Amino acid sequence: MPFDIHSFAESCIRGEYVLVVGSECVLRKDEGDAQLKAFGGNSDRMLYKLTAAHLIDDEEDVNEKFRQYTDFEPLGRKLQSASLHEAVEWVFKNRFFGNQPLTTDLAEPTLRDLIATRCFRVVLTTTIDPYVLWLMEDVWGKGNVRVCNICDTESRGPSLGDYEYNEFHDVPPTLYYAFGTIHPGNTSQSLYHLTDDDALRIIVELYKQSHEERSNMNELTNYITPMGRGTQRPEPRQLLCVGCDFDNWLFRFFMYVLCGENMTSHESEGGVVAMTWNENTKLKDYLEKRKVHTEPDSRAFMCKLVDTINDKYPLCQDGDIFISYAHEDWVEASQLYQLLKDKEYNVWIDDARLGHDGKGTDFNNRIRNAINQCNVFIPILSDQTRHDLETLSCKVADIDFSKPQDQWPQGAHYYMKEWSYAQECNDKGRSFVVIPFTIGGYNCNTDYHLKMLPVIFGATQFSANDRDCMSRIMKEIEGVHERNNTRQQ
């Protein structure tokens, strides 16, 4: 089946992909800037150049003396390992986190835009530098990104399994360092990859972690291939790899450990790899035989994907129709959105890029304001919402949504907070029409509907299974507009 960028973008929006970022696409490629030209857009090469410059007092002599070295491995053979690691740690302390640190201005704009779509709450990087973290913090806010160094046994906090998976894949924004990173001020605890000796130590650490129930590696593996344990999404997630070095044996070993049979089976669906292939057609053929789609240019592919996601996921806007939905029902919600837009109605649909962790004040205010000014409120009720309602131990009206989301009862989700806002607006005298739109296995004649939902939902339903459903919805909306126009006259 040929690759379809539109269906792929929808899968990313639904949270079905984990983003894997390699060093090749982290920095800008700028032929007009001598420094960026020397880095070639590669953050590993930047770290190598900065380290080499530190080892030689005369920076102008760096390229001449280190011309025969292209990465840390041959440099590590020339120097003592301790000297090499000390030099790299000096670069982190003084160039990345010093008084005048490097900034994200050097970062690749298309990578920044891809992360800014907020479609990838879980990101894995094979780099050891802080650029991907900085880009995520630009989007989610400094201090709001959970950082896991897979190689560091000392930095384990709550695992992803400790967070409830809801309709906006609301695990906290999380960055995994696959091959370690450096913690300024605590380098004694840092394990990170520069040389082959480091790689062997990382393999030993991964082996140790495979025998521990709660480890960073097992946590990530279980997120990509859930083992059940109460999660609502047992389907395996796929990987979108951009700028990764598949020629690197450590990376391929890591991917095999992470994905298991999915990397070797001809039957399983593969992910997407966007990188510069050079002449390695053998590796490209190997991946494509395993249904892994390949793209020859990571930057061009990221640009195309960002444009498609932006087209698929419309920005928030004021409108007289508000659509409320669970993330699993995105396809149906977007279809309804498009049908109403085609009729030239002004429609408000929430945007995952604002964040749906219930903590963003701006997002909460925009949701409340949009519901307060709408004339029609359309909650989509599905098999997913049925499952959530049956899980609840109380009525939606009894949930205190002012509390942090991790204190909400089991089964409560952000779309229910939208329902609560709607009921609150109605109680304060704001008049609008509620049109429950049911899809899938939802039934309005059951206890979970009649007893658990806000009063404004009533018992009326507009079922997608009814042939005249959309005409009834349009008629209801037209009636609202006619009544409003009459009042205004």
- pLDDT given at position 275: 61
pTM here? 0.64
pLDDT number for residue 87: 84
Query: What pLDDT sits at residue 447?
Result: 79
Other CB atoms within 10 A of residue 298 CB:
24
| Distance in angstroms (rounded) separating the CA atoms of residues 456 and 329 | 22
For residue 241, give the 3-state DSSP assignment. Answer: strand
pLDDT value at residue 90: 85
Reading across the β-sheet that carries 146-149, which strands appear in turn?
Answer: 146-149, 174-177, 122-125, 17-21, 238-242, 272-274, 293-295
Burial of 160 (0-12, 13-18, 19+ CB in 10 A): buried
Distance, CA of 460 to CA of 463 (rounded, Å): 10
Amino acid 125: pLDDT: 93
Instruction: Give the pLDDT confidence score for residue 167 in this predicted structure.
Output: 32
- Taking a C-beta distance cutoff of 8 angstroms, is the pair 380, 434 a contact? no
CA gap 127, 131 in Å, rounded: 9
Angle at alpha carbon of residue 154, lines to 151 and 157, rounded to 5°: 100
What is the C-alpha to C-alpha distance for residues 247 and 290, in angstroms, rounded to an integer?
17
Which of these, 309, 283, 275, lies nearest to 25 by C-alpha position?
275
Nearest to 171 by CA among 383, 18, 313: 18
Tokens representing 122 are 């879980």
Q: What is the mean pLDDT of each run of 10 residues along the chain (489 residues)?
A: 85 84 90 77 87 66 52 64 79 79 83 88 90 88 82 56 42 84 63 83 79 73 63 67 79 73 48 60 70 85 90 56 86 82 81 46 74 89 89 91 89 92 87 86 79 81 78 86 62
Distance CA 386, CA 133 (A): 37
Quickly count helices (H) and strands (E) in the chain.
19, 13
CA distance 179 to 257: 13
The predicted pLDDT at position 282 comes to 67
Bridge partners (DSSP) of residue 438 are 381, 463
Strand bridging mode 376-381 / 437-438: parallel
CA 212/CA 151 separation, integer angstroms: 13
- Chain centroid to Cα 26, Å, comes to 17
**Hey, what domains does the chain have and what are their CATH numbers?**
5-307 (no CATH), 314-488 (3.40.50.10140)
Q: How many CB atoms lie within 10 A of CB 109?
A: 12
The string of DSSP codes covering 311-355 is HHSPPP---SEEEE--GGGHHHHHHHHHHHHHTT--EEE--GGG-
Tokens of 326: 């669970």
Rounded to an integer, what is the distance from CA 390 to the centroid of its chain?
Answer: 28
For residue 210 the two structure tokens come to 């495979």
Beta bridge partners of 198: none
Amino acid present at 329:
D
Q: How many angstroms separate the CA atoms of 432 and 429, rounded?
A: 9
Sign of CA dihedral 371, 373, 379, 380: negative
